[in-house]
Chains A and B, each alone.
Chain A
Amino acid sequence: MSTRELVDFDEVVEKFDPAMGLEIHVELNTNTKMFCGCPTAFGAEPNTQVCPTCLGLPGAMPVVNGKAVESAIRIGLALNCEIAEWCRFARKNYFYPDMPKNFQTSQYDEPIAFDGYLDVDVEGETFRIGIERAHMEEDTGKSTHVGGSDGRIHGADYSLVDYNRAGIPLIEIVTKPILGTGDKAPLVAKAYVAAIRDLIVALGVSDARMDQGSIRADVNLSLAPKGSDVLGTRSETKNVNSLRSVERAVRYEMSRHAGILLSGGSVLQETRHFHENDGTTSSGREKSDAEDYRYFPEPDLVPVAPSREWVEQLRATLPENPAKKRARLQQEWGFSDLEMRDTVGAGALDLVEQTVAAGAAPQAARKWWLTELARRANDAGVELAELSVTPAQVAEVQALVDAKTINDKLARQVFDGLLAGEGTPEEIVAARGLAVVSDDGALSAAVDKAIAENPDVADKIRDGKVAAAGALIGSVMKEMRGQADAARVRELILEKLA
């Protein structure tokens, strides 16, 4: 199968309609695990966050983490889902050492949330992604395969398991089949995962770090001949762990499926592994039928029956939908699409919003965060939000600029002072002597000097070539070591040469 040729993407979408299904696992940021009080910190030493319950020792009894249920309901509500009046956990039985109990506690036919949707925008077109369900389950332990060539399972001599992650609460969000996306399928998949991530961040229920595996996507894909309403056989590409990889995995699987179908073969229903290095997938295992997991209701846990009052209380805590919020802010701020995209892309949306709330003009707030501060964050190798400059301080700096106490160039030195912890913007201006010289006497002398040193330029301005004033402003600013209000300097030059 693997030797069949990949088909060019344009030809794929000319001949086939893709159908996708996306499953996203979100690791919640609760303090403790789903069914026991073990901590959930990322990166702890192996097997230091375990107890009899998450190790599946005999007699241990699980108890549901109420906070995790709350997060599950909030995610469900944010995805426009119904919230079950009554639901249970189930045992998903399988034999694999990543779960020491030989089953994973999950939900089967009674998910806590079901039947919702999420709208995503791709190149100006809105796609409504149906949400089949969002259910609660627990994460598995982490296996390291020892021996063999590439650390994967095949060829390994033995495996080592760390159960710190086993039992961390997961919410699995499953879409309905996503149809009719055509050549946009890879972008829709990527946009959907990005939208889920944004929503999770806005809800504050997960670290939402794809690089640390706190959001993981499985991509189901099948192709049907153009115009056919019968779905093809699907493959399931597991653990695709970046937005770019989601797009690439869909694109690759579309080309691979088309290659098989066009040469008269049939697609095998199987799981596949995605390879970050070259964007390909390789065969995993043949997919078990659902029945093979022998799901049955978990007898150690009682049902979850969220009261309608609780659900409505949680609904009231929902943040504004991130996509809608972006559209609203863009309109309020008068940003172009490009400005908005850059702001979001730089992780500056909330920072700009808070800076504006602290009194700065939107464009000024955007300018500082996306140029001066983005550069400093980049130099320091940290996220913008991790800089020690606060939105309120940025607004203060801009207020000083607006009041003509400092200019943009001096403002940069104020940011230096802020990052060095030298106090408030006003204190830094005072301590560093940064205020622009508003004493017209000193300015006037500097202007006279510049005119005297540049008689040619002065003549041009006298002849009405006002644009030439820039050269004189430059030398005055140099003379004043930047501590002058350029607009006032210009006024003085034009007065003197009128």
Chain B
Amino acid sequence: MSQLSRDEVAHLADLARIDLDDAELDHLAPQLNVILEAVASIQGVAGADVVPTSHPIPMTNVFREDVVVPGLTPEQALSGAPASEDQKFSVPRILGDEQ
């Protein structure tokens, strides 16, 4: 497992919108590397007969019927929102751009 550079950690933090200062980067980058090393040692144990999985239960094709089920009322939906207006969630001015 390759080492994670300080720049890569800074980039990841930026993508995750986590504001890290220089001291925190110095502190966290080596810690993340320790975690990666731990994962690497587990990967070393897994033999060729163990297939990678993204789900703990070996299931496929779990589907739902296309039938409407009641959801939340707008009041319920907005109840956890710090601010709302016109029955919509109000969010701070968006920097950047739509995806």
A contact residues vs B (CB 8 Å cutoff)? 30-32, 36-39, 45-52, 54-55, 57, 63-69, 86, 88, 93-100, 104, 140, 143-146, 153, 156-163, 238, 271, 284-285, 292, 294, 296-299, 301-306
Q: With contacts A47-B78, A55-B77, A161-B89 known, is A31 near B67, CB below 8 A?
A: yes
CB distance from A109 to the nearest CB of B (A): 12
A36 contacts B97, C-beta separation under 8 Å: no
In this assembly, does B66 line the interface, its C-beta being within 8 Å of a C-beta of chain A? yes
CB distance from B9 to the nearest CB of A (A): 13
Q: With contacts A63-B62, A163-B89, A298-B54 known, is A37 near B98, CB below 8 A?
A: no
A65 contacts B68, C-beta separation under 8 Å: no
Nearest CB in chain A to that of B88: its residue: A160
Hey, what's the 0/1 contact readout for B42-81 against A, CB within 8 Å counting as 1?
Answer: 0000000000001101011111111111011110011010
A104 contacts B99, C-beta separation under 8 Å: yes
**Contact partner, B99, options A55, A68, A98, A294, Cβ 8 Å:** A98
Nearest CB in chain A to that of B96: its residue: A285
Which of B62, B65, B88 is the most central at the interface, judged by chain A CB atoms within 10 Å of its CB? B88
Nearest CB in chain B to that of A30: its residue: B66
Chain A residues within 8 Å of B2, by CB: none
Q: 14 extra interchain contacts, Cβ-Cβ under 8 A, other than A37-B71, A140-B99, A306-B61? A: A39-B68, A46-B74, A47-B88, A52-B71, A52-B72, A66-B63, A95-B16, A95-B17, A96-B94, A159-B92, A160-B86, A161-B91, A162-B88, A304-B61
Chain B residues within 8 Å of A305, by CB: 60-61
B71 contacts A161, C-beta separation under 8 Å: no
B97 contacts A284, C-beta separation under 8 Å: yes
Nearest CB in chain A to that of B97: its residue: A285
In this assembly, does B5 line the interface, its C-beta being within 8 Å of a C-beta of chain A? no
B71 contacts A36, C-beta separation under 8 Å: yes
A31 contacts B78, C-beta separation under 8 Å: no
A38 contacts B71, C-beta separation under 8 Å: yes
A440→B91 CA distance, assembly (Å)? 82
**Contact partner, B63, options A63, A97, A158, Cβ 8 Å:** A63
A-B contact count (CB 8 A): 150
B62 contacts A153, C-beta separation under 8 Å: no
A145 contacts B63, C-beta separation under 8 Å: no
Chain B residues within 8 Å of A37, by CB: 64, 67-69, 71
CB distance from A148 to the nearest CB of B (A): 9
A163 contacts B85, C-beta separation under 8 Å: no
Q: List 15 A-B contacts (CB under 8 A).
A: A32-B64, A46-B86, A47-B74, A57-B80, A64-B62, A67-B66, A96-B99, A146-B85, A153-B97, A158-B92, A159-B90, A162-B89, A284-B98, A296-B54, A297-B54
Chain B contact residue count (CB 8 A cutoff): 38
Q: With contacts A96-B96, A160-B89 known, is A302 near B60, CB below 8 A?
A: yes
- List residues 6-34 of chain B with CB under 8 A from any CB of chain A: 15-17
A52→B77 CA distance, assembly (Å)? 8
A302 contacts B62, C-beta separation under 8 Å: yes
Chain A residues within 8 Å of B87, by CB: 45-47, 162
B66 contacts A65, C-beta separation under 8 Å: yes
CB distance from B78 to the nearest CB of A (A): 6
Which of A50, A52, A98 is the most central at the interface, judged by chain B CB atoms within 10 Å of its CB? A50
A268→B92 CA distance, assembly (Å)? 29
**Contact partner, B90, options A31, A39, A45, A160, Cβ 8 Å:** A160
